[in-house]
Amino acid sequence: MNTAQNSRRERGFTAWWAAAGIAICLFGELGAIGLTGPDEPRYAWIARAMAQTGDWVTPRLYGQPWFEKPILYYWTAAIGFKLHFSAEWAARLPSAFAALAAAIAIGWLAAKHYGGRANSLESPALLAPLIFASSVAGIGFARAATPDMLFSASIALAMAAIATVYRHSGALRGATSQAIEDSRSRQKDYAALALFGAFLGVGVLAKGPAAVILAGGAVVLWALVAKQWRMAFRALHPVAIAAFCIVTLPWYVLCAVRNPDFLRIFIWQHNFERYLTPMFHHPQPFWFFGPIVLLALVPWTILLWPVAREGVRVWREKSWTRSPGVFFACWAVFPVLFFSFSDSKLPSYILPAIPALALVCAVAGIRAFRESRAMAIGIAAGIGITWIVLAIGAWAWARKVPWNAVLNEYSPRALYIDGWIGVGAAILFALILAFFGLGKRTGMVMGPCALAVVLALEIASIRILPTIDPLYSARYHARFMSHDLHPDRIFTLDLARSWNYGLAFYFQRQLPEWQASDPGPALVLTNPTGLRRITSLGRFHGTLDEPDKGILYVPVEIAAQPSE
């Protein structure tokens, strides 16, 4: 009795700490760094303007309609601004909640198709969400003020719904699945089909018709591989189509009525032309997404090895016809294939594949640990080597950061010592994981790896990101100048668009570009190139007392008056 009780307590503890780790990875310190890049402040501006103006139909950037993305992200972020959350939390919470929904979806799929309760790392129902939430892609996009995670989560939920239909019909038979063809099952199928259509509609509201293409393409690819064409057509059930139209059409129709150019700009320019041409200046080679997938799964990338072995086994046994793993693999593969043929490529395009990859990695990893000690040791060693590479990469990155601009007391010697400590700790951790691999216990390898992710993330969120915030975000600069006596005399010059969007968001107005013809004194936010231009015009003399904190503050002097 005591042994059984201890075992239950241990499983309960595992479930609780894993849930806490997922929560920290997705929600912890969302405001550790201000809004960065060109996308975050731009999308956040639109959401804040929507909350302020009450126009919930037309997205507007600086007062003008902006149809790069549909409405869902702006709606969800605007709610945060309405509730007076901080800018960073309001802008990033939608992505964090979406990532949680995706994690729950793959955990539910794992429980239904592979059995096991979500209270042990020996079960894919717990391990799959943990892998997803603690991966580079999961953490990064859960903390990004963009529509990408909302889009990916909606596809994950839609695929979970249609998988339910296929499982009930016997087309997907996992370890615990069986065909159930009765009236009760058909009623459940109607509900699942309605959810499938509704979640696809949510995806179209998040990022456009690509949601239908990716989910539909994954189903078609599975039907082709598994020869399940009859089952594939069930995705086109009238119930699913009706739910899709109910969710999607109202906003699209209303926005098109109010804005005649909406469909041309959004559907044609930002979807078809973005895919078919490099007009948005994101050309990459065909193989671009291969390395991106490897990076996205860090520190779990080594688990693609047992996934590949599972694929070979299924091929040799010719057991792919009703394999749920093949369905999930098609879901993971299709986005990568589809966007590999695009003339415009960004890392975020394959985010919809990551939940499915986390699921198949969890399943294949657990099986590998159970089947072979050599595989268990190899996976443990691979994860350990990943951490060593991460430590070395972090050290190399830290050596390029201008710490003197944000942390004057941090000397090169201190950086050198900290770097060696980090690499040494990673080597020790790798040895410990390899030792745990000898016992063939999945949890003793996966658990410490997930805890290491949480620890590293907390260190970054509490110490590193707030320190380097001035180098990458306009938040610090806007706060620094919030009480300037002449805010109308603050300008920008030669800044990258990420800085311009960020400064506009935090200043809550666009800062004008400084012109040499302006004769008055001014404060110009610029970079070394702009400083040289101002100096060459004789409008600034001497040196700057402040070090470069991402932006140079250049006090421009009054223009010299022409002599009579």
- Is 73 within a domain? no
In the predicted structure, residue 414 carries a pLDDT above the cut 90: no
* Model confidence pLDDT, tens digit, residues 260-301: 888 888 777 766 666 655 655 567 788 899 999 999 999 999
Name the nearest CA neighbour of 447 among 425, 428, 459, 432.
432
* Collapsed DSSP state (helix, strand, coil) of residue 94: helix
Tracing tokens 């559907």 back to the chain, one arrives at: 267
Instruction: Name 378's Cβ contacts closer than 8 Å, sequence gap at least 6.
Output: 302, 305, 437
| Burial zone of 391 (CB within 10 Å; 0-12 exposed, 13-18 middle, 19+ buried) | buried
Residues 152 and 111 in one domain: yes
pLDDT (tens digit per residue) in 328-376: 999 999 999 999 988 778 899 999 999 999 999 999 999 999 888 899 9
The encoded tokens of residue 421 equal 């400590």
Beta carbons within 8 Å of 477's beta carbon, 6+ residues apart: 470, 503, 506, 525, 549, 550, 551
Domain presence at residue 137? yes
**What gap in Å lies between CA 353 and CA 44, rounded to an integer?**
26
Query: Does residue 69 lie within any of the structural domains?
Result: no
State the Cα angle at 517 between 512 and 519, rounded to 5°: 95
**How many domains does one find in the chain?**
3
The mean pLDDT of the chain is 88
Map tokens 């799929």 to a residue: 109
Tell me the pLDDT tens digit for each residue of 187-237.
678 999 999 999 999 999 999 999 999 999 999 999 999 888 888 888 999
Is residue 269 located within the same domain as residue 407? no
Task: Tell me whether residue 85 is in a domain.
Answer: no
pTM: 0.92
Tokens of 202: 């949510």
Q: What is the distance between the alpha carbons of residues 378 and 304, in angstroms, rounded to a whole number?
A: 12
- Examine residue 62 and state whether it is found in any structural domain, yes or no: no
d(C-alpha 70, C-alpha 56), whole Å: 12
pLDDT of residue 388: 95
Residue 409 lies inside a defined structural domain of this protein: yes
Q: Which residue has the higher pLDDT, 484 or 512?
A: 512
H helices of 210-323, in order, are 210-226, 229-232, 238-258, 262-263, 274-276, 289-296, 304-317
Structure confidence at residue 1 as a pLDDT band (50, 70, 90): very low
Do 99 and 119 have their domain in common?
Answer: yes
pLDDT for 183: 47
> What is residue 30's predicted lDDT score, i.e. its pLDDT?
94
Residue 556, strand partner residues:
522
Gyration radius (Cα) of the chain, Å: 26
pLDDT digits (tens, 9 = 90+) for 6-55: 556 666 678 888 999 999 999 999 999 999 999 999 999 999 999 999 99
47 in any annotated domain: no
Same domain, 353 and 231: yes
- Domain span at residue 176 reads 15-40+93-371
Neighbour-count burial for 495-533, b at 16+ CB within 10 Å, e otherwise: beebbbbbbbbbbeeebeebeeeeeeebbbbbbeebbeb
% of the chain surpassing 90 pLDDT: 62
- Where a domain ends, among 322, 345, 371? 371
Task: Tokens 């996992």: give the residue.
Answer: 174
* φ/ψ (deg, to 5) at 27: -120, -15
Same domain, 366 and 424: no
pLDDT computed for residue 346 by the predictor: 87
431 plus 452 within the same structural domain:
yes
Cβ neighbours of residue 6 closer than 8 Å, sequence gap 6 or more: none
Of residues 200, 183, 182, the one with CA closest to residue 237: 200
| 526 φ/ψ angles, rounded to the nearest 5 degrees | -150, -165
Cβ partners under 8 Å of residue 80, min gap 6: 47, 89, 90, 91, 93, 94
Residues across the chain: 564
Boundary residue ending a domain (439, 473, 507):
473
The yes-or-no verdict on residue 320 having pLDDT over 80 is no
Task: Note whether 543 and 510 are same-domain residues.
Answer: yes
pLDDT of residue 179: 47
Which is higher by pLDDT, 38 or 177? 38
Average confidence (pLDDT) over 310-322:
80
Q: Is the pLDDT of residue 94 over 70?
A: yes
Do 443 and 543 belong together in one domain? no
Q: For residue 484, which amino acid is it? A: D
Residues 466 and 488 in one domain: no
- 338 lies in some domain: yes
What's the farthest any 2 CA atoms get from each other in the chain? 103
Indicate whether 122 and 261 sit together in one domain: yes
Q: Do 293 and 170 share a domain, yes or no?
A: yes
Q: What is the pLDDT of residues 472-500, one digit of tens each?
A: 999 999 998 988 888 899 999 999 999 99
Domain boundary among 426, 445, 473: 473
Shared-domain flag, residues 410 and 498: no
